[in-house]
Chains A and B, each alone.
Chain A
Amino acid sequence: MSTEPVDVLIVGAGASGAALAWSLAETRMSILCLEQGGWMDPAGYPGMKGHGEASQLGEFAFSPNARGRREDYPVNDGGSPIAVSMFNAVGGSTILYAAHFPRFHPSDFRVKSLDGVADDWPIDYRRLEPYYDVNARMMGVSGLAGDPAYPPKEVPLPPVALGKLGETLAGGFDRLGWHWWPSDSAITTLEYEGRAPCINAGTCLSGCAQGAKASTDITYWPPAIRQGVKLETHCRVREITVDENGMADGVVYYDAQGVERRQMAHVVVLACNGIGTPRLLLNSRSKHFPDGLANRSGLVGKNLMFHPYAMVTGIFAEPLEGYKGPTGCCIWSHEFYETDLARGFVRGYSFEMLRGFGPVSTALWGMGWGRIPSGVDHHRAYAELFDRTAGIAAICEDLPEAGNCVTLDGDLTDADGIPAPKITYRLSENSEKMLEHSVARATEVLEAAGAREVLVQSPLPFAGWHLMGTARMGADPERSVVNEWGRCHDVKNLFIVDGSIFVTAAAVNPTNTIQALALYIADTMKKNLANLFD
C-alpha cells in the first residue's frame, strides 16, 4: 500500500460508492476505495447448489447479526421493531437485494411544501432525472414505458415476465380499478452489455449466479477499475482523521491481515449506508469535532428512516408457478402513493408484488406460521401452500424523527474493537395508520384476485434493509449535515453519497435514488474541481 495521499478516498464499495467511483474515473485523479468485505464468487451462490433458500438463515442471511461473517459488524437493533439488514462486500447490499428499482416521485422532494410535514429536499426530481437515466443504462433496468405513476422515463430493457402469478394479481387490481404496472427492475431481460438475461431462477435474495441482477460488482466496478480506480478489499476503516485545520486528511483502517494502517487523501467520500456512515462519523472524534466528525449540527445519526413494511400473503387454490421468476420484481402499484388526508394519515405507500416461495421456503414459512406440522398431517398441509402463495409488500413512507437514531453502543464492538452502532427507533402513529390501511387494501386485492385466505405480518420485523436520513442534506448547516451536492457543511473535503443524505424516504426502494444522487454528486464535484473546498 502506497503511503502517498490519494486524490479521492471512497469508503464502501456498495451501490453509491461504485457509481461515484465510475463517474469520477474519467478525471484520471488517483481514486482508491476501501471496502471491508470482499469480492463475491457467483459460482458459490446457493442457487447453484440447490433450492438453498435456507441459506438466508446462515451466511446469506439479511441481518449481519445472523451472519457473523468476518466482514460483518454487529448492530444493536434490539430496541427497534424493525431489524437492520445489510451486506458487506464489493457490491454491498446489492448482492442480496431484490433489484426492485423504482424512482422517487417528483412530490417526494417537496414533502414540506406539499404536505406540511418533514422537509423539502434542496434538489428536485428534474435535477436528478438525467442521473436516473444514466443509472438505468449502467445497471440495465428493465420495465415498461408509459407508467402514469411517473413522468415519462427511459427504460432500456423490456419488463420481466409477469407469468401466471403476476397476471393473477393484476386481475385483482383490475377488478378494483386500481393502478398497477410492471415493475422497473435492475435485472437484464435480454443480453445486455455482456451480461446474460434473467433465467427466472428465483434466487435473487441469495445472489444471482446468472449475472442478470445488477449488483455493482458486475455493473459499475469493472469499468471503474479499467479506468484506473483502485479497490482494496477486506480493509475496514476505523476512523477518518483531520488535520490541524479540521479538514479530513485520511483514514485509519485495518487491512486484510488485521494490521492497522493509514491512508492519506485530499478528498474523502463516505458510502457506508445509513448505519455505517453515521457510525464512522461518530467514531471519528477529535478536538475539532468532539461529538463526531462533521457533526456540529448534532444531526449525524439522527432522523433514521426505514420503510415500515407490511407483508400480506394470499393463499390460492390453484398453482401460480410463483417459484419461477425474480423474487421481488413483478408488478407494482402506486394507487395509494400520493397523500390523501381522507385516509387518516399523511404521505403514502407503494405495493410491491412478490413471487411465491420455493420448496424449502414454503416449508419454513409455513412452519413459522404453524401451518405445516410434522407427522401425519404434513403432506396435506404442505400441498395447500406450495406454489399456492403470492405476496404483497406494502412499503410505507417513514417520516424523519430526531428520536429515531443511530448512536454508538457502549459495549458492543466489531472484531476489530470498533464500537458498533445502536439503533433507537419507534414506529410513529402515522406509520401505524398507514400500515393498517395498506394491509386492508392489500387484502382486498388478494381477495379480488381469488385468494381463499390471507395472512398478514405487520410490521415486518426483518425489513430494515432501507437505511436513510442519518446525515441529511440541506442548505442550512444548523439543520443538515451535507449541502445540496453531498459536501459536509463542517468539513469541505468530506462528502457523503449513500442513503444517509436522504431528507425524506419516499415510499419506494431507495437504491435507484441513492445511485442517482451519487452520480449527481460526482458530476457536481467534477464541475467544481477548481474550487471544490470553497
Chain B
Amino acid sequence: MNEGKNDRRFSEDELETLACVLDHVVPPSDDGRLPGAGKVGVAAVVDEALHRMPEVRGMVAQGLSALDALARRRSSRAFATLPRDQQAELLNELAASEDAFPPILLLHVYNGYYQQGPVLEALGLEPRPPHPLGYEVEANDLRMLERVRRRGRLYRDC
C-alpha cells in the first residue's frame, strides 16, 4: 500500500489546531482539577482512532482546514494563535457550516479523554487500567436477607 504522503495521519499543524479545538470541546474545569482535552493529549488519541476510519478522518481534516481558513480571513492569523474567545466564535461559525465536524468525533474525544491519567485521578480513580489490580468491594452483611427468607417459597413447584 502506498502511504508515501502519510495521508492517514494528521500533520503537525492539524494536530495543533485539533488540540485547540478539543480544549473547547472538553474545556478545563472551572476549579482547574480537570484539564482540557487538548492539553491532556487527546488529539493524539483521536489521530490514532481515525487512522482506521479514513472517511471520518477526511471530514475532520476538512473541518480543521476550514477553521484555519476562517481564522486567516478574519485576522490573518492561524486558529491556534487566536485568543480563546475568538476561537470560540469561529468554532460556532464552523458548526453551522457544511464543514462542521462529524458528530462521531465527539465519541472518540470522550473515549480518549476519560482514559487519560490526570482525568482519572481528578475523578478519584487510580490512573491505571482496571486489570491486573482490580478494585476492592466491601462484603455486605447478608443477614439483611432475613425478610426475604421468611417469605418462604416463591416458585411454582411442578
Chain A residues in the interface with B (C-beta under 8 A): 45, 47-52, 54, 57, 105-107, 109-110, 113-114, 124, 144, 146, 148-151, 159, 161-164, 166-167, 170, 174, 177, 179-182, 198-203, 209-210, 321, 323-325, 334-335, 337-338, 358-360, 362-364, 367, 372, 374-376, 378-379, 386-387
Interface residues in chain B, defined as those with a beta carbon under 8 Å from any beta carbon in chain A: 24-27, 29-30, 34, 106-107, 109-111, 113-115, 119-120, 123, 125, 129-140, 142, 144-145, 147-149, 151-158
16 contacts between A and B (CB under 8 A): A51-B115, A51-B120, A106-B155, A107-B158, A148-B151, A162-B137, A181-B148, A199-B133, A199-B135, A323-B125, A363-B110, A372-B110, A375-B24, A379-B27, A379-B29, A379-B30
CB distance from B124 to the nearest CB of A (A): 8
Residue of B nearest to A374 (CB): B25
Interchain CB contact under 8 A, B29 and A163: no
Contact of A209 among B106, B131, B156 (CB under 8 A): B131
Q: How far is A149 from B133 in the complex, measured between Cα atoms in Å? A: 35
Cβ–Cβ contact A359 & B158, under 8 A: no
- A107, B155: Cβ atoms closer than 8 Å: yes
Contact of A47 among B111, B129, B144 (CB under 8 A): B129
Tell me if B158 and A110 are in contact (CB < 8 A).
Answer: yes
Residue in B29, B136, B140, B158 whose beta carbon sits within 8 Å of that of A166 in the complex? B140
| B114 and A363 form a contact (CB under 8 A) | yes
Which partner residue on chain A sits nearest B133 by CB separation?
A199
Instruction: Give min CB distance, B128 to chain A, whole Å.
Output: 9
Dominant secondary structure at the A interface? loop
Residues of chain A with a CB closer than 8 A to B109's CB: 374
CB distance from B56 to the nearest CB of A (A): 13
- What residues on A are CB-neighbors of B29 within 8 Å? 379
**Known contacts A364-B107, A378-B26, A379-B29: does B134 contact A144 (CB below 8 Å)?**
no
Q: Are A51 and B151 in contact (CB under 8 A)?
A: no
Task: Say which residue of A113, A144, A201, A359 sits within 8 Å of B119 (CB atoms).
Answer: A359
In the complex with contacts A182-B142, A375-B24, A106-B157 CB distance below 8 A:
yes
Q: What A residues does B151 contact at CB under 8 A?
A: 148, 179
**A359-B135 contact given A144-B142, A182-B142, A374-B106, CB 8 Å threshold:** no
Q: For the complex, give the distance between the alpha carbons of A324 and B154 in Å.
A: 31
Q: How far is the CB of B106 from chain A (nearest CB, A)?
A: 6
Pick the contact of A337: B25, B30, B135, B154 (CB < 8 A).
B154
Task: Tell me the minimal C-beta distance from B69 to chain A in angstroms.
Answer: 22
CB-based contact B137/A161 at 8 Å? yes
Interface SS majority for chain B: loop
B131 close to A161 (CB less than 8 A): no
Query: Which residue on A lies nearest to B125, using beta carbons?
Result: A359
Chain B min CB distance to A54 (Å) = 4
Nearest first, the 7 A-B pairs at minimum CB distance are A199-B134, A201-B130, A363-B110, A324-B135, A54-B111, A359-B114, A163-B137
Knowing that A148-B153, A151-B155, A167-B144 are A-B contacts, what are 9 other residue pairs whose CB atoms are under 8 Å apart, sorted by A's residue number? A106-B156, A106-B157, A148-B155, A177-B147, A338-B154, A360-B115, A363-B113, A374-B25, A387-B123
Contact at B156–A105, with CB atoms within 8 Å?
Answer: yes
| Assembly CA distance A363 to B29 (angstroms) | 16
Beta-carbon nearest neighbor of A330 in chain B: B137
- Contact at A170–B107, with CB atoms within 8 Å? no
A114–B156 CA distance with the chains assembled, in angstroms: 9
In the bound complex, do residue B115 and residue A114 qualify as a contact, i.e. CB atoms below 8 Å apart? no
Interfacial chain A residues near B113, Cβ < 8 Å: 363
Nearest Cβ distance between residue A218 and chain B, in whole angstroms? 15
Tell whether, in the assembled complex, residue A161 and residue B155 are in contact, meaning their CB atoms are under 8 Å apart: no
- For B125, what are the chain A residues with a Cβ–Cβ distance below 8 Å? 323, 359
Contacts of A170 in B (CB 8 A): 144
> Is B140 touching A113 in the complex (CB atoms < 8 A)?
no
> When A199-B133, A210-B132, A359-B120 are in contact, do A51 and B114 touch as well, CB less than 8 Å?
yes
Residues of A within 8 A of B155 (CB): 105-107, 148-151, 334, 337-338
Query: How far, in Å, is A513 (CB) from chain B's closest CB?
Result: 15
The answer to whether B106 and A47 touch across the interface, beta carbons within 8 angstroms, is no
Q: What A residues does B119 contact at CB under 8 A? A: 359
The one of A47, A334, A337, A374 that contacts B130, using a Cβ cutoff of 8 Å: A47
B129 to chain A, nearest CB (A): 5
Question: A364 CA to B106 CA in the complex, in Å?
Answer: 9
On whether the beta carbons of A113 and B158 are closer than 8 Å, the reply is yes
Shortest C-beta distance, A410 to chain B (Å), equals 28
Cβ–Cβ < 8 Å partners of B30 in chain A: 379
Q: How far is the CB of B89 from chain A (nearest CB, A)?
A: 13
A201 contact set on B, CB distance < 8 A: 130-131, 134-135
- CB distance B131 to A360 under 8 Å? no
Q: How far is the CB of A292 from chain B (nearest CB, A)?
A: 35
Give A84 Cβ to nearest chain B Cβ, in Å.
Answer: 23
In Å, the complex CA distance between A100 and B135 comes to 20
Q: Tell me whether A374 and B26 are in contact (CB under 8 A).
A: yes
In angstroms, Cα B157 to Cα A350, docked, is 17
B131 near A54 with CB under 8 A, answer: no
Chain A nearest CB: distance from B48 CB in Å?
12
Residues on A with beta carbons closer than 8 Å to the beta carbon of B27 = 375-376, 378-379
Residues of B close to A198: CB separation below 8 A: 134
Tell whether, in the assembled complex, residue A148 and residue B107 are in contact, meaning their CB atoms are under 8 Å apart.
no
Residue of B nearest to A360 (CB): B114
Instruction: Flag if A151 contacts B157 (CB, 8 Å).
Output: yes
Partner of B132, one of A48, A179, A374: A48
Which B residue's beta carbon lies closest to that of A339?
A: B156
Query: Are B25 and A202 in touch, CB under 8 angstroms?
Result: no
List, in ascending order, chain B residues with CB within 8 A of A376's CB.
27
Which residue on chain A has the smallest CB distance to residue B153?
A148
Q: Which residue of A lies closest to B129 (CB)?
A: A50
Chain A residue with Cβ nearest B28: A379
In the complex, are the beta carbons of A181 and B157 less than 8 A apart? no
User: A526 CA to B132 CA in the complex, in Å?
Assistant: 42
Q: Which residue of A lies closest to B142 (CB)?
A: A144
Q: Which residues of B contact A321 (CB under 8 A)?
A: 137
